[in-house]
Chains A and B, each alone.
Chain A
Amino acid sequence: MEFIEINNVFKVYKNGVSALADISLKISKGDFVFIIGQSGSGKSTLTKLLYREEKPNRGSVFVGGINVGKLRNGNVYKLRRKIGVVFQDFKLLPKLTVYENVAYPLESYGMTKSEIRERVKKALDRVHLKDKMRSYPNQLSGGEQQRVCIARAIVNEPKLIICDEPTGDLDPKMSKEIMDVIEEINKDLGSTIIMATHDKTIVDKMKKRVIYLKDGVLISDKKKGTYVEDESV
């Protein structure tokens, strides 16, 4: 079985909106995959299925051998500890410092103080934010906040990192910084990276596997793809 297996997944929201229709795909360990498509194409829904923020109506989603859709509500946290998620809007706790934000997941797992300190410093070092440890999120630029979010996602050294439009709110220069960090993590830690984006520049430059969604349907899946805007491609 592949690291991630999505089999004939359908997702219809309660308001009747059909987000995904009959999606099947496999992703191996250590892969770097872009999911592209316009707003409303189902990119975010697909990523949410992986970390069980949403459940499929039909079909199955396996992550590391776990049937995510069948996971009980009270056990979802076990899955999420194996996954790092990077959000477009960063989702940092505004009243915690950079250090505290990155340390938060580890603290809630009950790790020792020294272990936490070591891991947080390593993560912040990786995203080049060691000197901003005591700052609060509102004292940082957008790019810096996103790097804090990445540090929090990788602090537990997860096998899978899901990025939902991580550069959506950033200017090109900051976007590049973020992508460099993420690529480094993919290479150094061997984490599987799944990134939903509609940033053409990034996709074209990185030459990774590209999955193209349109209106919830998988249109193309290319090994070393570029950004596609036309469904006929």
Chain B
Amino acid sequence: MRAFRIIGRSIRDAFKSVFRNFSLSMASISCTAVTLIIVAVAILLTYNVNSITKDLKDALTIVVYVDRDASEDDIAKVKIDLENINNVDTDSVRYESKDDIKNELIKDEQFAELFNVFDTNPIDSRYIIRVKDVTKMADTASRIKEFASVTKVEYGESIVNRMLPMFDIVKNVSIIAVIALIVVTCFLIGNTIKITIFSRRQEINIMRLVGTSNAVIKLPFLIEGFFLGIIGAIIPILITIFGYTFLYEFMGGKLLIESMTLVQPDTIIYPTSLVILIIAGIVGMFGSLNAVRRYLKI
């Protein structure tokens, strides 16, 4: 019962203290809010950059042309050989026969006339495949080239060679940036709380002098830090939820071009908000705990 009474009073005191030290509370809350907004934006940005680069990577395919005169068995063998390559995503192997392609093309009148010129179908059947690891795409393509019935292998060589290293750099840089920002945020919020508590060191000293145990002194500050953190997280979370949804709709769900799709708000805003809330709560609690501790030494 005694412990419950102490916890109850600590919560009450923490609440009171937020209002009694209003200007300092506001300083902590605004610092938390501003830094967390930056963190939220960085998280959303990183998530989108990663998603776009992943989409672009997924869009990269290898087109394997099969000899026009190859028999059914030869064509089937190419498929088996393709699936035997480790880096080939077996689920993605798709066959388009020369007749299918022709039928698709002659739907257009111009192509229909063009095909009339030929006695036989001039198109090669093809396999379209995706790879598991795009960085090994060139190797995979050159291995496929060796296959008996394969005449030609095409893949976006220039894109792969130039863009892939760039994607990796963008991804790594953005992740490092988010981590760095979170660290800076922790430091900033922790420091603001330190200033808040510095101005209350006299209060802590009095608590100690009248026989309050260290744990009981820390408790209201711990709860107060948690409150301040959570209150500071409200605006960043609102910006994450409503701001991102608005931006997503405003941009029509894509960035500049059709293939660069933005991440759906539902999949990203709630996890991001949760991360922000957790950072705010934890940094608030430990920031104030850390600041109080130094005044408890005798």
CB distance from A155 to the nearest CB of B (A): 9
Query: Which B172-211 residues sit within 8 Å CB-CB of chain A?
Result: 202-203, 205-211
Are A108 and B6 within 8 A (Cβ)? Answer: yes
| Chain A interface category by residue count | 20 to 34
Q: Which residues of B contact A208 (CB under 8 A)?
A: none
Q: Which residues of A contact B297 (CB under 8 A)?
A: 73
CB distance from B100 to the nearest CB of A (A): 80
Answer whether residue A189 sits at the interface, using C-beta atoms and an 8 A cutoff: no
Q: Interface readout for A108-127 with B: 1 if CB under 8 Å, 0 if not? A: 11111000000000000000
Partner of B214, one of A53, A74, A112: A74
Q: Which residues of B contact A78 (CB under 8 A)?
A: 211
Q: Which residues of A contact B214 (CB under 8 A)?
A: 73-74, 77
**With A95-B20, A105-B210 as contacts: A76 and B3 at CB distance below 8 Å:** no
Answer whether residue B103 sits at the interface, using C-beta atoms and an 8 A cutoff: no
Answer whether residue A51 sits at the interface, using C-beta atoms and an 8 A cutoff: yes
**With A107-B9, A110-B5 as contacts: A93 and B203 at CB distance below 8 Å:** yes
Are A110 and B298 within 8 A (Cβ)? Answer: no
Answer whether residue B107 sits at the interface, using C-beta atoms and an 8 A cutoff: no
Are B203 and A105 within 8 A (Cβ)? Answer: no
Residue of B nearest to A74 (CB): B214
Answer whether residue B134 sits at the interface, using C-beta atoms and an 8 A cutoff: no
Chain B positions within 8 Å of A, measured between CB atoms, are 2-3, 5-6, 9, 20-21, 202-203, 205-214, 216-217, 297-298
Answer whether residue A33 sits at the interface, using C-beta atoms and an 8 A cutoff: no
Answer whether residue A187 sits at the interface, using C-beta atoms and an 8 A cutoff: no
Give CA–CA (A52, B205) in the complex, Å.
Answer: 13
Are A93 and B206 within 8 A (Cβ)? Answer: yes
Partner of A109, one of B20, B211, B298: B211
Give CA–CA (A55, B297) in the complex, Å.
Answer: 13
Chain A positions within 8 Å of B, measured between CB atoms, are 51-53, 55, 73-74, 76-81, 83, 85, 91-93, 95, 104-105, 107-112, 152, 156
Q: Which residues of A contact B206 (CB under 8 A)?
A: 91-93
Q: Which residues of B contact A111 (CB under 8 A)?
A: 5
11 A–B pairs (Cβ distance < 8 Å), ordered by A: A52-B298, A73-B298, A76-B298, A80-B209, A80-B210, A91-B205, A91-B209, A105-B211, A108-B216, A108-B217, A111-B5
Residue of B nearest to A80 (CB): B211
Question: What 17 new A-B contacts, CB under 8 Å, besides A77-B212, A80-B208, A107-B9?
Answer: A53-B209, A55-B298, A73-B214, A76-B298, A77-B211, A78-B211, A79-B211, A81-B211, A83-B211, A91-B205, A91-B206, A104-B210, A105-B211, A105-B212, A108-B212, A110-B2, A111-B5
Residue of A nearest to B9 (CB): A107
CB distance from A84 to the nearest CB of B (A): 9
Q: Which residues of A contact B6 (CB under 8 A)?
A: 108, 110
Give CA–CA (A51, B205) in the complex, Å.
Answer: 13
Give CA–CA (A79, B212) in the complex, Å.
Answer: 10
Chain A to chain B: the 6 pairs with minimum beta-carbon distance, closest first: A80-B211, A110-B2, A81-B211, A108-B212, A105-B210, A77-B213
Most B CB contacts (10 A, CB to CB) among A77, A92, A104, A152 go to A77
Are B208 and A77 within 8 A (Cβ)? Answer: yes
CB distance from B20 to the nearest CB of A (A): 5
Give CA–CA (A111, B211) in the complex, Å.
Answer: 13
Q: Which residues of B contact A95 (CB under 8 A)?
A: 20-21
Are A51 and B209 within 8 A (Cβ)? Answer: yes
CB distance from B206 to the nearest CB of A (A): 5
CB distance from A34 to the nearest CB of B (A): 22
Give CA–CA (A112, B54) in the complex, Å.
Answer: 61
Q: Which residues of B contact A77 (CB under 8 A)?
A: 208, 211-214
Give CA–CA (A43, B244) in the complex, Å.
Answer: 66
